[in-house]
Amino acid sequence: MENNLDNSIKIYNAHKNRKGRKLIQWKNLVGIPEQNGRKSCSYWIMRYMKEIVEDTNLEFATKWERRTNLVYTEKNIDEVRAEWAKHVINFAQL
């Protein structure tokens, strides 16, 4: 998987005429929160992505690089559900 991502990043950088690192340094974030239940997988992933995108100081790597017993609460997942539903409703009204 990393090989495919490495190649994709290289192609993107070449397309944008950007010089990237010769070797991409991947970081294993072993402390990411565990997913509770089987039905919330997509919401769990969206919540994790939301934290990364909204982290303007790039502190998510520090937060998740150490082993912890963190989990997303139902409230955390419900926030993503509500935000997603709001976007779907707004899109449907276009």
The whole-number pLDDT of residue 2 equals 65
pTM above 0.75, yes or no: no
The pLDDT of 16-36, averaged and rounded, is 75
Q: For 24-39, what is the mean pLDDT?
A: 73
User: In 1-94, which residue ranges form alpha helices assigned H by DSSP?
Assistant: 2-15, 41-54, 60-65, 74-92
| Count of the separate structural domains present in the chain | 1
Quickly state the pLDDT bin for 67 (edges 50, 70, 90): low
Residue 72: which residues within 8 A CB-CB, separation 6 or more? 33, 35, 36, 44, 47
By residue range, what is the domain housing residue 18?
Answer: 2-92
Asked if pLDDT for residue 94 goes beyond 80, the answer is no
**CA distance readout (Å), 36 to 12, 46, 47, 61:** 35, 14, 13, 22
pLDDT top residue among 84 and 19: 84
**pLDDT confidence bin for 18, thresholds 50/70/90:** confident
Confidence of residue 41 (pLDDT cuts 50, 70, 90): confident
